[in-house]
Amino acid sequence: MRAHADISTASGSRTLVRLSKHWEHGFSVNYTPDQSDIRFDADSSCRLLVVPQGLHVEIEARTEQGLGELERVVAEHLQRMSRGEPLTVEWVRSG
CATH class, domain 2-94, is alpha beta
The residues spanned by each domain of the chain are 2-94
User: What averages of pLDDT result for each successive group of 10 residues across the chain (95 residues)?
Assistant: 97 97 96 98 97 97 96 97 93 90
Q: What is the pLDDT of residue 79?
A: 96
Mark out the alpha helices in the chain (DSSP H runs): 12-23, 64-81
Q: For residues 24 and 26, give the distance between their C-alpha atoms in angstroms, rounded to a whole number.
A: 5
Q: For residues 92 and 40, give the distance between their C-alpha atoms in angstroms, rounded to a whole number.
A: 20
Strand order in the sheet with 54-60: 28-31, 35-41, 44-51, 54-60, 2-8, 92-94
Q: What is the pLDDT of residue 84?
A: 86
